[in-house]
Chain A
């Protein structure tokens, strides 16, 4: 018998006793929502009016021609309200929070996209909102911090550990074990204890449902491959679910290769060979950890991929050989980003650009009668400081210096 919340031998619910009743309640509400067609109706209604669902599938004609192989289609999750796929999950959990009657939401965030989406949902539904964010990520995703605060959320910089996503998750759990009666923890990806992987995958499945319909309409047949970047794995699970049953469709997850898989400075759990099975943050999966079981520091130019673990559902699909995993390095990511901006006028988030890297590598080897789909999980505007810095863009630097001078003078 397979235990609930397990995918193969990955997953589970390794929760402290203090949260036992909270999870019991969450499971009951989630099961009820899943079995209630009116819940999904309400969700679709919300996502088509408050956000821009269905998001378009864009034919990237210029890059397709550039590579001379498969036709490249881009699923535009950047056109969701708040600029990333994160809103799909957050709005769904928001509806669940309303049903549970809780009045406060908390969340972790890496790239800040999940934090912004949660702050937006809290503003719309009238919840109090606290966002935990690693101090390093606060620095590299400053524009998102600004918007979270403007929407009324409290952003708490986390200074423990590696000061990134995993530490933000720990802090959110510490808040939750104190305030579980009033508070729901809106976990941002398909990780953590059951039911979160299943629940987040369910809300994100909307991407794949739409994408399958759209590609059949635009190209009249299924794509050869589907590409998505993988941090925790929510955008990837979202689009992959649309094609899991179609065995002829190759599913490719692209992890953060950072400075290279042999550099020790990356966040590739499944594409590399540095990860091993472990249990942390409430679930069992492949973790980047040392031989004692201590979690390692990870690195990626993309804050949203800079994480030690990966969805238990993806670990299972990896083990079964259904999803293939590769990695893209920081440098490759900048190149793919550059090409996409210049040729298509589209700015992918640094996270999403990882998926583009692998698609661009493989497209030339496929035939012109084939199509591939890239899930563009979010837009790159949030990364303006990081991207401008990577380009060493002189006019941007000048602007920042002048603005800083102006602020300094204002103060005096």
Chain B
């Protein structure tokens, strides 16, 4: 079992549902990132997904797309993201994972990237454009270092497909709540219940649900159905509109 899964399972003995939050590195600045992370950790977030910006974020909606592009156009470099991440993992003691697109790893060198992430105490990776068919090397390298190559389930995935994904995954499974990209609202309906049941039947890994989760109502709905609720776009919107200080109270209001 990966360290990440152990940590999550331990937390789940104390809490009914865990919270994972997301931010885009360098947007609007590393200083704001640091303050946002401080507020998140202080208010009980269990795990944070740090997105390394990429110029072509195809799985992301307008809000996160804009954050990626502004971070890059302000001159943020991969090296700065890695150094910042190292500072953060030294200061805050919850699991941190990297979310990014495959080209960032590919260009850096897959093994070099995974080793670097290992050195700075990153626990896992979410790479939405790398299916297991194309990512054998990545999956094996991450697993050999006891890190989690987190796999993604979608509402369109069959049970057989989910089983194959789970075999390639570790840590937890990221269940995309609906079709489309990040940032739009999700209606949790009967189809969703069937979907989550299918996810459960395909794997024993903890299930995180993301895409369109914005409120306590959403988190309450997921409680008992999933293990982890993922808050993505909503905190970016909040920081844009009200500043980093608004993040703490928002997180506190979710559980």
Interface positions, chain A 267-306, Cβ under 8 Å from B, are 276-282, 287, 289, 291-295
Q: Are A161 and B106 in contact (CB under 8 A)?
A: no
Is B103 a contact of A21 with CB atoms below 8 Å? no
Q: Determine the distance from Cα of A173 to Cα of B57 in the docked complex, in whole angstroms.
A: 11
Pick from B17-25, B148-156, B189-197, B219-227 the stretch touching chain A.
B148-156
Encode contact with A along B155-187: 1 for CB under 8 Å, 0 otherwise. Answer: 111100100010000000000100111000000
Q: Is the CB–CB distance between A178 and B104 below 8 Å?
A: no
**Residues in B whose Cβ lies below 8 Å from that of A289:** 103, 107
Could you tell me the distance between the alpha carbons of A127 and B131 in the complex, rounded to whole angstroms?
31
Cβ of B77 within 8 Å of any chain A Cβ, yes or no, is yes
Contact B157 A20 (CB under 8 A): yes
**B61 contacts A174, CB within 8 Å?**
yes
Q: Flag whether B54 is at the interface (Cβ < 8 A).
A: yes
| Interface residue? A170 (CB, 8 A) | yes
Q: Is A180 an interface residue, CB under 8 A from the partner?
A: yes
Q: Check B58–A170 contact: CB distance below 8 A.
A: yes
Say yes or no: B179 contacts A281, CB within 8 Å.
no
Inter-subunit contact B69/A160 (CB<8 Å) = yes
Rounded to whole Å, the gap between the CB of B191 and the closest CB of chain A is 13
Asked if A51 CB lies within 8 Å of chain B CBs, one says no
Given A17-B176, A18-B179, are A292 and B165 also a contact pair (CB < 8 Å)? no
B130 on the A face (CB < 8 A): yes
Decide if A293 touches B131 in the complex (CB within 8 Å): no
The prevalent SS among residues of A at the interface is mixed
Q: Within the complex, which residue of B62, B107, B176 is in contact with A291, where a contact is CB–CB below 8 Å?
A: B107
A20 and B153 CA atoms in complex are apart in Å by 10
Classify chain B: how many residues form its interface, as a range.
35 or more
A177 at interface by CB-CB < 8 Å: yes
CB <8 Å contact, B104 and A292: yes
A161/B157 contact (C-beta < 8 A), A18-B179, A180-B179 known: no
A43 at the binding interface (Cβ < 8 Å): no
Q: A295 to B161, alpha carbons, bound, how many Å?
A: 32
Q: Which residues of B contact A202 (CB under 8 A)?
A: none
A22 at the interface (CB under 8 A from B): yes
Expressed in whole angstroms, the minimum distance between the Cβ of A130 and any Cβ of chain B is 15
A278 touches B103 (CB 8 A): yes
Inter-subunit contact A294/B179 (CB<8 Å):
no
Which residues from A are CB-within-8-Å of B61?
174
User: A194: shortest Cβ distance to chain B, in Å?
Assistant: 10
Q: A17-B176, A279-B106, A293-B108 are in contact. Are A174 and B58 (CB under 8 A)?
A: yes
B65 contacts A160, C-beta separation under 8 Å: yes
Determine whether the beta carbon of A16 is less than 8 Å from that of B58: yes
* Contacting pair A281 B56 (CB below 8 A): yes
- 8 Å CB contact of A14 from B131, B165, B181: B131
A295 and B181 form a contact (CB under 8 A): no
* B156 partner, pick from A22, A179, A291, beta carbons under 8 A: A22
Cβ–Cβ contact B152 & A16, under 8 A: yes
CB distance from B200 to the nearest CB of A (A): 17
Task: Tell me the minimal C-beta distance from B169 to chain A in angstroms.
Answer: 11
Return the contact of A282 from the options B66, B129, B155, B176 (Cβ within 8 A).
B129
Once bound together, how far apart are the Cα atoms of A178 and B176, in whole Å?
12
Q: Flag whether B134 is at the interface (Cβ < 8 A).
A: yes
Q: Does B215 contact A (CB under 8 A)?
A: no
The 5 sampled A-B contact pairs (Cβ below 8 Å) are A14-B131, A17-B165, A18-B154, A179-B179, A293-B108
Additional A-B contacts beyond A174-B61, A289-B103, A293-B106 (20; CB < 8 A): A13-B134, A14-B129, A16-B128, A16-B129, A17-B152, A17-B153, A17-B154, A17-B165, A17-B176, A18-B156, A160-B65, A160-B69, A170-B57, A177-B179, A178-B179, A279-B129, A280-B56, A289-B107, A293-B108, A294-B55
Q: 7 tightest CB-CB pairs across the interface, nearest first?
A: A293-B107, A178-B180, A18-B154, A293-B103, A294-B55, A292-B78, A295-B55
Chain A: residues with CB nearer than 8 A to chain B?
Answer: 12-22, 160-161, 166, 170, 173-174, 177-180, 276-282, 287, 289, 291-295
